[in-house]
Amino acid sequence: MKFKVSSLDNKSLKEINLNKDIFEQPFKQEIIYRMLRYQSAKRQSGNHKTKGISEISGTTKKPFKQKGTGSARQGSKRSPQMRGGAVIFGPQVRSHAHKLPKKIRALALKIALSKKKSDGKLIILNDFKIQKAKTNLLKSKINKMGVTSALFVTGREIDKNFMLAVRNIPNTDFLSIDGINVYTIVKREHLVMSESALNFLTERFSK
């Protein structure tokens, strides 16, 4: 499957072969949903917390005598029914993460990549190198490609000038190939990959 490789100046350079196993997966919404849910759960901090009766500050003395007051008997001011008392079965600090099979995670990434390709939202560049770390310079180059919302994925060698320039452009994300994920791919309209990132991805799924 032939695919065009362009320069950052939007000039066509050559054609390369894309791996069909990675870029021609049929779209399965339930797989994408499971992966997004998995990623969202892992991002939750899980630091919600309510105090149990042992954590409430206050006296352990009986509030009032057992009989003769006309009120219901009480044993502690820290009990759940008392104002300022404990919370029963309230949220506790925990991890919201859950397991998802490795094969499902890999398939979800392939489906997300295939979707971008089939929608015409995939762009392959030879590299992400610019002479100066100027946001306006990079923005003008991106505008020539007709891109307003994009995820830029580079190889493991990151061009510092590009990284500094792209972070000031709205609706863009920048990742190395090690950090590529379904959520960030789906979040942006276009997926712009460097040729080195594509090679790493192909090598990763060929193992």
Domains in the chain: boundaries: 2-44+97-205, 50-90
What are the tens digits of pLDDT across the range 7-58? 888 888 888 989 999 999 999 999 999 999 999 999 999 999 999 988 998 8
Residue type (1 letter), 88: I
pTM, two decimal places? 0.84
Report strand pairing: 150-154 vs 122-125.
Answer: unpaired
CA torsion through residues 134, 201, 33, 1, sign: positive
Distance (Å, rounded) from C-alpha 47 to C-alpha 93? 5
Contact in structure between 191 and 150 (CB atoms under 8 Å): yes
Q: What is the pLDDT of residue 1?
A: 74
Q: What is the pLDDT of residue 179?
A: 93
**Does CATH number 3.40.1370.10 belong to domain 2-44+97-205?**
yes
- 190 sits in which H/E element: strand 190-194
Residue whose token pair is 């994920």: 181
What are the tens digits of pLDDT across the range 147-204? 999 999 999 889 899 999 999 899 999 999 999 999 999 999 999 999 999 999 998 8
Contacts by residues 178-182 (CB-CB < 8 Å, ≥ 24 positions apart): 180/109, 180/153, 181/39, 181/109, 182/32, 182/35, 182/36, 182/39, 182/108, 182/109, 182/112
Among 114, 108, 201, 116, CA closest to 150: 116
Residue 136: is its pLDDT beyond 80? yes
Residue type (1 letter), 34: R
Ramachandran region of residue 138, left (φ > 0), alpha (ψ -120 to 50) or beta?
Answer: alpha
Counted residue by residue, the chain has a size of 207
Residue 113: is its pLDDT beyond 90? yes
